Chains A and B, each alone.
Chain A
Amino acid sequence: MKKIFSSMQWSLLLIAAIAFVSCGGNANQDSTSKNKKFNPTERQSSMSDSERETAILRKRASLDVDLETVLYSHGVRFGIVEPKIQGDITQDIADRIAMKMLQIASENGISGAGSLNFVMGAEIAQTGRAVTGTSPQKMTSKYELTFKVLNTVSGEVYATATQEVIGVGNSFEEASQNAVQEIKNTPQLHKMLQTASERIISWYDENLQVIKNQVEKAEGEGNYALALSILNSIPEQSKEAYKYVAEKQDSLLKGMLHKQAADMLAEMEALLASSGDDFNPAVGAYFSLIPTDCPEHATAQQLYAEYEKKCNARRADLEAKAERDEAAARELKKLEMLYAHETELAQIEADKIKSKYASLASAKAAAAKAAASRKSGGLFGSIGDAISGTFSRIFKVADVAGAALTDKLGLEEYVESVEKKDKEADEF
């Protein structure tokens, strides 16, 4: 019995000893990491504080955009042509690519999408699709894009650049959409746009007669907005051609305003009906765009005078009340402020209206040109379909481009009307 008890004690001791040894955790630390304590040393730098400051400034400067380089082609314009819809390239993706091209063009100093004679387009080829073995799985789509700047008059390709992009997504459709985000403004694209811009500037100087023919044809057809749009696409760097712009643009604007006087009057009447005796700067804008020697001017003048009378009556009424009523005083103050800004607001409204007409004419002309090109089956005919589709969408963008048009409009009559409004506001 004594012996058995002793054996049990020995067993207990053995179990306890094993447990004691093992409970310390695994002892697999060996030569690679044995006896190594964690004693991290801070990263040391040999730079002094002032050296560091200078280096930071230098680095920041290197990341800034070089304006001299970017603005090299200021004034050059061309249209953007969407890629052909095929395979994974849906209308949505084609739109995104067109917008991306416009963005890249702007980043490189191309000032707008208003020209009919030059377009930037892209041909897209799908070069691969794949599925990853990860969880979740990802789909990839690879494309090769060839960007081109074309002269639609001669059919010449002015410059090209290629770029390969890969899109990743949870489906192939998403991968294709994401591939558009991967389109970057590369040095190759920069060079392509620079080359194209230089050739475009030269083309305008060398082909002044072609431009004159286009402008005069549009003018002869009474399409003043289109004629102005053509003029507006001439870059300032094309010195000879730009002289023609200075000569021609005033008369064309006058012609356009004459032609659209009836439309302006109708718009003005509609606004008057909705405005009542509330001040609306757009009314003044439409009035200022109706030339004085148009038959519509007399009606417009009478309507405007009545409108002013109503506004003045309200003002007088408010003035009378202002003495008694603080709220009316505030309303009067608001009205006075609005009148003070009338000229400025009216001009903005007028600019908007003018660009709308110019853009519309430009888009229509581009679509017509594309249709003609398709019929003739020329070099440019192959992308004719794309152009007509694109211009209807790019029309929205062209509004922005058209806004720049007004910068160059120094029409005497327009200035006079603005001055008149200024004077009236002062008197008021």
Chain B
Amino acid sequence: MKTNKILSFVSALMLLAMTSCGGNQNGTTNGLADGASGNMEAYENSDVNAVVQALPQIMVIPGDQTLQNFKCLKTERVSGRDYILRDYRNYMLKDDRARRIISAIQDAFNSQNYPLNDFEQTLKQLDTQEATDMADGLDKDAKTMLLTVAQPDIIIELNYDTSRDKMSLTSHNYGKGEKNISFTLNALDAYTNKVVATMTASNIKGESTTEAIQAEISKNMPQFQSDIQKYFSDILSRGRDVTVRIAVAKGCNVDLSDESIEGDTYADWIVDFIKTHTVKGAYKLQRNTDKELYFVNCRIKLLNEDGTQYGVYDWTRDLAKNLRKNLGLKVTNKAQGLGEILLVVENQ
């Protein structure tokens, strides 16, 4: 009897603690903002989470198959090459289900305190930015214009398709068979093109495509999010997975295979640097030419000793400093986003 009482007391205490740890539900306030609360001091004093510090942007983007179904994808031959032209804006207008399906995915991530970046809104924002930049008289070179696009770090590619069973038991029902719905949701690392998580369902029966997909997403979302979390955990354990590219500018009088002042080639020197400046020496050389060295699967650290973040720009800056100081090379840091390292060797 006494044990029962103790157990009940401990349970009640823990449930109380559990309830309170979810945040402050202040019943006395009415306003949306009034009800919000937070403890910045506690947050600042907690350990640094490198993923949170440089939080990857995740965006749901319609895939090519879906664009094709809505006739928003066409192939055009330009200068002897075939290019796929994607009309995203038109697709967002044509497909009235898209908004609802994307919202269901966004809602699932929101409930995990990970708001996604909205693709449609990003496109609108880019248009607005273009207009305001023009009004402010900002200078833009070709590279800036090329990069003024939606740049998620993780792309969630959505493809879905519907069809009806053509065959039916009675001839007057031909073509009015049950609806088959299929969809795939792939989360991809935009820098390494690695698939982070997938969700697939085919031949789901139902009359409402949106409802069927929404139900399937809700069912499979925990596993999908768990896969993404594993990906984040992997980053925290083994460092950020990045691509490293050392390229030579056009007209430059130096080749990477040229002999440096230290006697070996510039390429030798760069490879040695990568060996010692990646987490546990993780890298894979993919291309080695006179004009370019290209490495994939390079793992770089996430934090400096003082807890400030260490990203691709910092890594490239360190390499650039070394090349300038030790070999006298003129180089430019062109690192982008969270996972793209590019260092350009300029004319000396």
Contacts and interface: CB of A to CB of B under 8 A. Distances in A.
B127 to A, nearest CB: 9
A178 B145 contact: yes
B306 A40 contact: yes
Interface string A172-210: 100000110010000000000000000000000000000
A33 B18 contact: no
Contacts of A128: 79
B49 A29 contact: yes
A104 B78 CA distance: 32
A13 B3 CA distance: 13
Interface string B291-321: 0000000000111001110000000000000
Contact of A136 (B7, B15, B89, B232): B89
A31 B237 CA distance: 6
B11 A33 contact: no
A130 B78 contact: yes
Nearest to A22: B18
B239 interface: yes
B4 A6 contact: yes
Contacts of A12: 7, 11
A166 interface: yes
Interface in A34-66: 34-41
A366 B201 CA distance: 73
B22 interface: yes
A24 B22 CA distance: 9
Contacts, number: 134
A209 to B, nearest CB: 43
Interface in B58-95: 61, 76, 78-79, 81, 83-86, 88-89
Interface residues of A, number: 48
B279 to A, nearest CB: 7
A168 B84 CA distance: 17
Given A34-B47, A40-B307, A178-B145, A9 B4 contact: yes
Q: Which of A6, A9, A130, A140 has the most CB of B within 10 A?
A: A9
A134 B150 contact: yes
A129 to B, nearest CB: 5
B320 to A, nearest CB: 17
Contacts of A219: none
Contacts of A10: 7
A37 B119 contact: no
B299 to A, nearest CB: 9
Contacts of A302: none
Q: Which of A17, A32, A128, A179 has the most CB of B within 10 A?
A: A32
B71 to A, nearest CB: 16
Contacts of B145: 138, 168-169, 178
B8 interface: yes
A164 interface: yes
B121 interface: no
Contacts of B301: 32
Nearest to A166: B142
Interface string B108-141: 0000000000010001001000000000000001
A28 B233 contact: yes
Given A16-B18, A23-B21, A132 B149 contact: yes
A168 B149 CA distance: 12
B45 interface: yes
A131 interface: yes
A418 B95 CA distance: 77
A167 interface: yes
Contacts of A31: 237
A38 B250 contact: no
A136 B47 contact: no
A175 to B, nearest CB: 9
A166 B47 CA distance: 46
A41 B305 CA distance: 10
A182 B308 contact: no
A86 interface: no
Nearest to A184: B141
A131 B146 contact: no
Given A131-B84, A137-B86, A182-B142, 15 more contacts: A6-B7, A13-B11, A19-B18, A26-B229, A29-B49, A32-B238, A32-B279, A33-B49, A36-B307, A37-B47, A39-B306, A40-B308, A134-B149, A136-B126, A172-B78
